[in-house]
Chains A and B, each alone.
Chain A
Amino acid sequence: MDSLSQLDQVKTTPWSGGRSPWSVEYGKIMMWFFLLSDAFTFSSLLVYYGAQRFTKFTWPDPDLVFQSIPGVIESGAPLVFVGIMTFILIMSSVTMVLAVEAGHRRAKKEVTGWMIATVIGGFMFLGCQALEWTHLHHEGFWWGTIPEPEKLKEFFVGPVSEVAAQQFANLFFTITGFHGFHVFTGVLLNIIILIMTINGTFEKRGHYLMVEKVGLYWHFVDLVWVFVFTFFYLV
C-alpha cells in the first residue's frame, strides 16, 4: 500500500466525519447549550445576591421571613411551606423522567399519564409560589418597598438595616420571579407535548425525542430551584 492509498482510506473515528460524534440528536444538543446559557444567567443573579449578602453586616433572617404556611399557620413554621414546594418540584421531575422512560418504550398511554402528572405538579408549584408572594407582599416586601421600621425589626435577629432589607426584597422577587417564569414556560411546553402525545404525533414520528428535550428543560428548572432554595431559605 503506497502513501496515497493510505490517504484514501475511510477513517472511522468519532470525529472523522460522517457521523454524530456525541451520538446526540441535534435538537437535544441545542437544548443543552440553551440550558448552559440559562445557567449562566441564573448564576449571575445568584452570585450577585451572594455578594450583596456577604457585603452587609446584617440580613433578614430567612427563618423569620419565611415562617408561615399561607392560609394555615401565620407564624412559627419555618421551612415547612418551602419544603412542600421543593417536594412538589422534585416529584414533578420524577414524573417527567418516568414519561421519558415510557417514551423509550413508545408506550403512548403511559407517556400521557406521566405528562399530565408533570403538568399538575407544575401548576401546584406555581400556585404555592403565588401564595408565598402574596404573603410577603402583605408583610410589606415588594420591589422597591420594605415594611415599616416597627414591622421590619421582626425580620432581623441583630441590628436592622433598611438597605439590606431592600436588597433582599428586590433580589427575592427578581430571582424567584425569573425562576417562576421558567416554571410557567415549562408548564406551557409540557402542555404542548401532552397534546402532541395525545394526538399521536410522536407515534407517527416513531420516537418520543421531543419528550426528552422538554424533559431536559424541566429538570433544569428543578435544578435551579435546588440552588434558589439553598441560598434564599437555608443559608
Chain B
Amino acid sequence: MSEHNTQHTEEHAHDEHAGLSKAKIWQVFFILLGITVVEFVIALVILPKGLMGHTAGNIAYILLTLLKAYYIVAFFMHLKYEKTGLQLTLGLAFIFIIYFIVLMLIEGGYLHIHMST
C-alpha cells in the first residue's frame, strides 16, 4: 500500500509541475488582446460603415467570444493538459446550457410574434 502511495505522489508531483512556460503565457495574452482588438474594430469601424450586417456582426462577436473562452479555459485554467476524463466531465455538462438556449430562443420567438402589440 505504501509503495502505491509513493508512486502516486511522485506521479502527482510530476503532473503538477508540468505548467505553462512564461513564453506561452504571454503568447496567450497577446492572442486574447488581439481577439479583443478585432471585436473593437468590428464594433467601431466595420459595423458603422455598413461593411457587415448586424446579424453577421453578432455571429462574429459570439464566435470570437467562444474563441477567447477556449484560450482562457484551455491554457490559463490548464484544462488542455488535464486528463480526457476531466475534460469530458466538465465539457459535456454544457449540453444542458445549449438546450436551455434553444428552449429560450423558441420561447422568445413565440413572444416576439405574439406580444408585438
A residues within 8 A CB of B64?
230
Q: Is B97 an interface residue (CB 8 A)?
A: yes
* Interface: B111 (CB within 8 A): yes
Q: Report how far A65 CA is from B87 CA in the complex, Å.
A: 39
The segment from A16-24, A122-130, A185-193 that touches chain B is A16-24
Question: CB-defined interface of A110-126 with B at 8 Å, one 1/0 digit per residue?
Answer: 00000000000000000
Instruction: Please state if A227 and B61 are interface contacts (CB–CB under 8 Å).
Output: no
The answer to whether B29 touches A90, judged by C-beta atoms less than 8 angstroms apart, is yes
Q: Is A219 located at the chain interface by the 8 A CB criterion? A: yes
Give 26 CB contacts A-B under 8 Å.
Answer: A14-B85, A19-B4, A20-B12, A23-B83, A39-B94, A40-B96, A47-B100, A47-B104, A48-B104, A50-B101, A50-B104, A57-B116, A78-B44, A79-B40, A87-B33, A90-B29, A100-B20, A101-B20, A101-B21, A212-B16, A223-B72, A226-B69, A230-B62, A234-B39, A234-B43, A235-B61
| B51 interface residue (CB < 8 Å to A) | no
Instruction: Say yes or no: is A194 at the interface (Cβ < 8 Å to chain B).
Output: no
Other 9 A-B pairs with CB < 8 A, given A20-B8, A52-B108? A18-B4, A23-B11, A24-B86, A32-B86, A39-B94, A44-B100, A50-B101, A101-B21, A234-B39
Chain A residues whose CB sits within 8 angstroms of the CB of B29 once the complex forms: 90-91, 94
9 closest Cβ pairs, A-B complex:
A51-B104, A54-B108, A230-B65, A55-B111, A51-B108, A104-B19, A219-B76, A23-B15, A22-B86
Q: Name the residue among A18, A54, A207, A226 with the largest chain B CB count within 10 angstroms.
A: A226
Return the contact of B65 from the options A32, A54, A226 (Cβ within 8 A): A226
A216 contacts the other chain (CB 8 A): yes
Chain B residues near A234: list those with CB within 8 A.
39, 42-43, 61
Nearest-neighbour CB distance to chain A for B108, whole angstroms, equals 4
What is the CA–CA distance of A206 and B42 in the complex, to the nearest angstrom?
48
- In the assembled complex, A83 has its CB within 8 A of some CB on chain B: yes
Find the B residue at minimum CB distance from A93.
Answer: B76
B86-101 interface with A by 8 A CB criterion: 86, 90, 93-94, 96-97, 100-101
Whether B20 and A47, one on each chain, are in contact in the complex, defined by CB atoms closer than 8 angstroms, is: no
Q: From residue B75, how far is it (CB to closest CB) to chain A in Å? A: 8
Q: A54-B109, A55-B112 are in contact. Are A230 and B61 (CB under 8 A)?
A: yes
Partner of B8, one of A19, A24, A100: A19
CB distance from B82 to the nearest CB of A (A): 6
In the assembled complex, the Cα of A78 lies from the Cα of B15 at a distance in Å of 45
Question: Which A residues touch B52, using CB under 8 A?
Answer: none
B87, closest chain A residue (CB): A22
Cβ–Cβ < 8 Å partners of B109 in chain A: 54
Rounded to whole angstroms, the CA-CA distance of A83 and B38 in the bound complex is: 12
As a 0/1 sequence over residues 94 to 105 of chain A, the CB contacts with chain B under 8 angstroms (1 = contact) are 101110110010
* Complex interface residues of chain B between 35 and 61 (CB less than 8 A to chain A): 36, 39-40, 42-44, 58, 61
Which A residues are in CB contact (< 8 Å) with B115? 55
Residue of B at shortest CB range from A10? B4
Residues of A within 8 A of B76 (CB): 93, 96-97, 219, 222
Q: A54 to B22, alpha carbons, bound, how many Å?
A: 42
